Amino acid sequence: MKTYSFFIMLCLITLSNCFAAEKTTIRIGAQAGGTVEWELSALPAESVDFQIEVHPVATAEAGKIALQSGAVDMIVSDWIWVSSLRAQGEDFSFYPYSTTAGALVVPENSPIHTVKDLNGKRLGIAGGELDKNWLLLQALAKKDSVDLNKSVEKTFGAPPLISEQFKQNRVDAALTYWHFAAKLEAAGFRQIIDGKGILKGLGITENVPSLGYVFKQSWASSHSSAVNSFFKASTQAKKSLCTDDTAWQKVIPLTKVDDAATQKLLRQRYCEGSVEQWGDKEQQAAARIYTVLKTVSDSQLTGKSDTLQTGTFWSGK
């Protein structure tokens, strides 16, 4: 009883100690040097509702394993994966993080100026046969009666490998993740089209997030105040990186890039991915993208479900 009374007195004297004990710890799996790490580094130093515990993960797949095993509470991944998990009875959900996707780049003097020009060329593709950028690019090419799966010489690999193949002139064009594309552009390569451009070519004009925070819906619902506070702080952190040069300077070492031109382009592309609007229109557009990916991949990417699963996108409750 004396111990309990002492704790109450301590709370009254130093309220911050009491509130600190009530903070929800959010364990986030993040790859070293990735944009999640950038954003987390720019979060406000103090928060009433939550505290962040960063767990390094080596790869995106390692992050998925950590989340599914319960080793972390959140990772950044895509909503297609979330929908496929929900189709299997899991309760994972998605909250938007970035609309930036990949890009198709070529050497500055390349004769390739449109997607149709890839016909008969050597194409390096970051990821595998089921990479979303690759599937959507195929869908766009089919509108011009071009079957890229048959008409290009494909090389699949991790983004650093594709960049190296490109620089050694072993491929004529590269479809790669946005930050690798930005580095190539800064080195003098030319962008043909990016992920948003591909979607617009497919008739989808809404800015649909390609990546988002993924977590168990049941966990988020039981910690909704802390989770909502974190998402608000995350949005503020991104805005500060895009508008405050002092905040950006602190992130530069995390980019692992030395030259100012590349740093500037990385910042530009990162900020272009800001989620300005997220509502019914964007979620309906995501459902249309799902249908395209299901068709092009013959259900290999999406799974057997004909439609995007209900609950894939977190309602905030």
Question: Where do the domains of the chain lie, and which CATH numbers do they carry?
Answer: 2-99+209-296 (3.40.190.10), 103-201 (3.40.190.10)
Q: Are 101 and 277 in contact (CB under 8 A)?
A: no
Exposed e or buried b per residue across 14-33, where buried means at least 16 C-beta atoms within 10 angstroms of its C-beta: eeeeeeeeeebebbbbbbee
Per DSSP, the three-state class of 28 is strand
Task: Give the per-residue pLDDT at 143.
Answer: 93
What pLDDT score was predicted for residue 243?
Answer: 96
The whole-number pLDDT of residue 32 equals: 84
pLDDT < 70 regions, the chain: 1-21
Task: Measure the CA–CA gap between 15 and 155, rounded to whole angstroms.
Answer: 59
Give the pLDDT of residue 8.
36
What is residue 2's predicted lDDT score, i.e. its pLDDT? 40
Distances in whole angstroms, Cα of residue 152 to Cα of each of 135, 138, 209, 297? 14, 11, 28, 17
The per-residue pLDDT for 115 is 96
pLDDT score at 21 = 52
pLDDT value at residue 19: 46
Predicted TM-score (pTM) of the model is: 0.90
Confidence at residue 205, expressed as pLDDT on a 0 to 100 scale: 95
pLDDT of residue 276: 92
